[in-house]
Amino acid sequence: MSGSGRVAIEHADRFGKVAVLMGGRSAEREISLMTGEAVHAALRRRGVDAHEIDPGEDIIQRLVSERFDRAWIALHGRGGEDGAIQGALDTAGIPYTGSGVLGSALCMDKLRSKKLFQAAGLSTPEFVVMTAAVDAESVIERLGLPVMVKPACEGSSVGMARVDSVAELVPAWQEAARYDTCVLAERWFEGSEYSAPVLQGAALPIVRIETPRTFYDYEAKYFSDETQYFCPCGLDAELERACQQAALAAFDVTSAGGWGRVDFMMGDDGKPSFLEVNTIPGMTSHSLVPMGAAQVGIDFDELVWRVLETSLQRGAMPDGA
């Protein structure tokens, strides 16, 4: 669960030896390496005994044998955000940053996340689960055009495509199915895209995203200099607070914890429609959580430090913290 309040650590040596887990074998390896390198550099600047670790099959044995005290998880996608590494670290008794097994698994699964949003009374775009025997015309009849097709358990917009005609639907499904057996078709939402960073139980200032591309895809997220970010986001103060509270509710209902990012769309009605919760957001030059943090005076190094503090929520408090 998201929890509240900060477990504040004043001295770097109280964290002990920290493994920055980065890379991995998911489709998001490239971005994970970028995030991990930035996080590692920030921790070292703050005096933390941090080490870059690209995990293999022997990762737990290595962390134990090399006497690591905790892990800053910078692994994106499968094996990093889906609860797998979290479960292994729990078994080994090694504290780590961010969400636990349940929150990681639920947030990685967009289908389960959307069902939880619905159960909690939170709006989310209408969707259909697509199968190998997909009837393209029936999907379009229900959702209309255009639709967004996406694998249920990938991040960074991997495998996603906008579909503008019946003829495009099956090829889009086939591409998404390369990444996951569960594929969603989602009603296209006309409106602005926003992201609410969450840190230690509080929602940070919201970021508005604008891209000239068809949607906020992999290229737009990490590499395009044409993507524009607005923080302050342009919402009036009362509406932004309402969206922040709704984002915290989405974060909580999916059992996310520590830190993360809640993505939503909003149309002219001023009501957020939630897309997903990211439990290990990117920490690159184009990333959104650092933008929101900067608006409240938290620079990148301090943000990385505070994320590391979230590992204390599931481990013993060091003496003299």
Active-site option among 81, 186, 276, 309:
276
Q: Is residue 190 among the annotated active site residues?
A: no
Which 8-state DSSP code applies to residue 298? -
Instruction: Map residue 76 onto helix, strand or coil.
Output: coil
Q: Which residues contact 81 (CB under 8 A, 6 or more apart)?
A: 75, 104, 107, 108, 155, 278, 279, 280
Q: Which residues contact 122 (CB under 8 A, 6 or more apart)?
A: 246, 249, 250, 253, 272, 274
Active-site option among 29, 261, 306, 314:
261
Q: Is residue 238 among the annotated active site residues?
A: no
Q: Do residues 201 and 4 make contact, with C-beta atoms less than 8 angstroms apart?
A: yes
Q: Is residue 156 among the annotated active site residues?
A: yes
Active-site option among 2, 99, 156, 157:
156
Q: Is residue 261 among the annotated active site residues?
A: yes
Q: Is residue 28 among the annotated active site residues?
A: yes
Angle of helix 101-108 relative to helix 84-92, nearest 10 degrees, comes to 170
Q: Do residues 78 and 86 make contact, with C-beta atoms less than 8 angstroms apart?
A: no
Distance CA 231, CA 166 (A): 38
Distance CA 269, CA 301 (A): 37
Q: Which residues contact 242 (CB under 8 A, 6 or more apart)?
A: none
Active-site option among 217, 252, 263, 309:
263
Q: Is residue 154 among the annotated active site residues?
A: no
Active-site option among 104, 282, 292, 311:
282
Q: Do residues 209 and 224 make contact, with C-beta atoms less than 8 angstroms apart?
A: no
Q: Is residue 278 among the annotated active site residues?
A: yes
Active-site option among 278, 292, 306, 311:
278
Q: Is residue 222 among the annotated active site residues?
A: yes
Could you list the active site residues?
A: 28, 156, 222, 261, 263, 276, 278, 282
